Amino acid sequence: MNFYDKLKFTSDGLIPAIIQDHATGRVLMMAWMNRASIEATVATGKTHFWSRSRQKFWMKGESSGHTQAVKDIAFDCDGDTLLIQVEQIGSACHEGYRSCFFRSAQKDGGERVTEPQLATPEQIYGKK
Amino acid sequence: MNFYDKLKFTSDGLIPAIIQDHATGRVLMMAWMNRASIEATVATGKTHFWSRSRQKFWMKGESSGHTQAVKDIAFDCDGDTLLIQVEQIGSACHEGYRSCFFRSAQKDGGERVTEPQLATPEQIYGKK
């Protein structure tokens, strides 16, 4: 029994992957994988995803250099979500924050930024 | 500007919510919310979800007693995923594990259970 056989993909062939910093426990991002990106992640030890907006296979960090080295791949009871422990180089978020979850909701309905911005998108990707 | 206005729901009106133990950092589960379940979560301080399989609004722990007290609600850069910090009573997983992510993939394609089962489903929900 291969663990792939326990996974349930959406009708589009996708499964959500939660990416967590293995050392600090900080949840860094959530992105979607298809079977090919899981296989590439396992084979290379670097996270690969499927971009729904761009309809494109991509390696995390391919343009920013901010790659993720995989430490563990877990899957949930229903087999419909992955939890991947990684060692993150630089920032997980394309907006230059360590985690994409850098904003928290406030009781008054507003929001507050909960971590420092490490770099601007221009510094990461170059000026457009 | 209300934080709800920053959120992007799927065409079914849903958004995935990652649930994390605020004290240990353990990711417990991932489930889907609609706007009504987010509002109920904010209003009551207990997590509420939308079940896609049962097409039903539900409070986590309504039958098991294993509720989740909300400590923080964060949302990601794209506004399409929530990260909710909770204090978990009992087990998050309906299979009796603390976390739904109790299995990790092995290099040989197999799996290994990475945490103890705290109770059987029969102990949690009663014999069927």
For A108, other C-beta atoms within 10 Å of its C-beta total 8
The pLDDT of residue B108: 86
Rounded mean pLDDT of A20-30?
98
Assess whether pLDDT exceeds 60 at residue A25: yes
* Cβ contact A27–B6 (<8 Å): no
Assess whether pLDDT exceeds 80 at residue B1: no
Give the whole-angstrom CA distance, residue B49 versus residue A13.
Answer: 24
Give the whole-angstrom CA distance, residue A11 versus residue B120.
Answer: 31
Q: Of the candidates A1, A81, A101, which has its C-beta nearest B75's C-beta?
A: A101
Rounded mean pLDDT of B7-17?
95
The pLDDT of residue A128: 53
DSSP per-residue codes, B92-103:
SSTTSBSSS--E
Assess whether pLDDT exceeds 90 at residue A2: no
Contacts of B95 in chain A (CB under 8 A): 77
- What percentage of chain A reaches a pLDDT higher than 70? 98
The pLDDT of residue A3: 85
Instruction: Decide if B124 contacts B94 (C-beta within 8 A).
Output: yes
Rounded mean pLDDT of B45-62?
93
Tell me the pLDDT tens digit for each residue of B88-106: 999 999 999 999 999 999 9
Four-residue CA torsion sign, A76, B11, A37, A6: positive
Six-digit token pair at A2? 């291969």
E strand or H helix at B29? strand B27-33
Tell me the pLDDT tens digit for each residue of B19-46: 999 999 999 999 999 999 999 999 999 9
Assess whether pLDDT exceeds 60 at residue A70: yes
The pLDDT of residue A34: 96
Tell me the pLDDT tens digit for each residue of A52-63: 888 899 999 999
Instruction: Decide if B99 contacts B93 (C-beta within 8 A).
Output: yes
Question: Looking at this predicted complex, what is its ipTM?
Answer: 0.95
Assess whether pLDDT exceeds 60 at residue B128: no
Give the whole-angstrom CA distance, residue A121 versus residue A22.
Answer: 25
Rounded mean pLDDT of B1-18?
91
- Is the backbone of residue A109 left (phi > 0), alpha (psi -120 to 50) or beta? left
* Cβ contact A26–B30 (<8 Å): no
Four-residue CA torsion sign, B96, B69, A82, B57: positive
Q: Of the candidates B25, B72, B103, which has its C-beta nearest A74's C-beta?
A: B103
Question: Nearest-CA residue of chain A relative to B100?
Answer: A76
Q: Of the candidates A83, A93, A104, which has its C-beta nearest B101's C-beta?
A: A83
Q: For B38, which DSSP code?
A: H
Q: Which residues of B80-102 are buried (b: 16+ CB within 10 A; e: fewer)?
A: bbbbbbbebebbbbbbbbbbbbb
Give the whole-angstrom CA distance, residue B109 versus residue A31.
Answer: 22
Rounded mean pLDDT of B108-117?
93
CA dihedral B30, B123, B23, B78 (to 10 degrees): 10
The pLDDT of residue B127: 64
Establish, for the pair of chains A and B, how many residue pairs have beta carbons separated by less than 8 Å: 105
Tell me the pLDDT tens digit for each residue of A81-125: 999 999 999 999 999 999 999 999 998 889 999 999 999 999 988
Assess whether pLDDT exceeds 90 at residue A48: yes
Contacts of B101 in chain A (CB under 8 A): 74-76, 81, 83
